[in-house]
Amino acid sequence: MTEKPLILEIGMGADVHGHDMTKAALRAVSDAIRHSSLTLFKAYKHPSQMRVEVTIAVPFPDQVNKQAVADALPYGTIEVTVIEGGLHDRGMGGKEDITLAVAGVKAFLDTEDHGFQLLDTP
C-alpha cells in the first residue's frame, strides 16, 4: 500500500454563548471541509476508501464528543484526536464567554497503481 496525504485543510469554529466544545469543534471541521472539493478521490477510487485524520484543539479536550465529530465527515475511515488548545475567552463573563476550536483535517489515499504521479517535494 502506498498511502499519501492528498488534502490538508484548517478550519476554525466558535461557540459564542454556550461553552460547548463539541459545537465549536463541529463548526471548525465544517469550516475546514467546505474549502475542499474531493473530486480527486472520486476520479481514482471511491471516497469511502480514503483515511481521514482530524485533529481538534479546544480548551477542554475531554468535553468533545469525538464520535459526533467523526459522524460529521461524509466519507472515509475517520480518526479523531482532540488536544488542548483553541481559545476560551473569559473576558466578558458568563454566557458571553467564547469558545474557539481549531481543526486540522488530513485526507489520505492509497495511490498505488494509479495513472497519476505525485512528486516528492524537498
CB 56 within 8 A of CB 82: yes
CB 78 within 8 A of CB 70: yes
Q: In the Cβ-directed half-sphere of 55, how many Cα atoms lie within 13 Å?
A: 10
Cell 481521514 sits at which residue?
Answer: 52
Range(s) of the domain holding residue 35: 3-110
The rounded percent of the chain whose pLDDT value lies above 90 is 48
Q: Which are the contacts of 95, defined by CB distance < 8 A and separation ≥ 6?
A: 17, 18
Beta bridge pairs of residue 87: 100
In this structure, is residue 8 part of a structural domain? yes
In this structure, is residue 84 part of a structural domain? yes
In this structure, is residue 57 part of a structural domain? yes
Give the pLDDT score at 74: 85
Measured over the CA atoms of residue 85, residue 87, residue 90 and residue 95, the dihedral's sign is negative
- Mean of pLDDT over the chain: 84
CB 114 within 8 A of CB 44: yes
In this structure, is residue 121 part of a structural domain? no
In this structure, is residue 70 part of a structural domain? yes
In this structure, is residue 35 part of a structural domain? yes
For the segment 17-37, the average pLDDT, to the nearest whole number, is 88
| Total domains in the fold of the chain | 1
Does residue 114 or residue 64 have the better pLDDT? 64
> The CATH number of the domain where 103 resides is what?
3.30.1330.20
User: For 49-89, what is each residue's pLDDT tens digit?
Assistant: 789 999 999 999 999 999 999 999 988 899 999 999 999 88
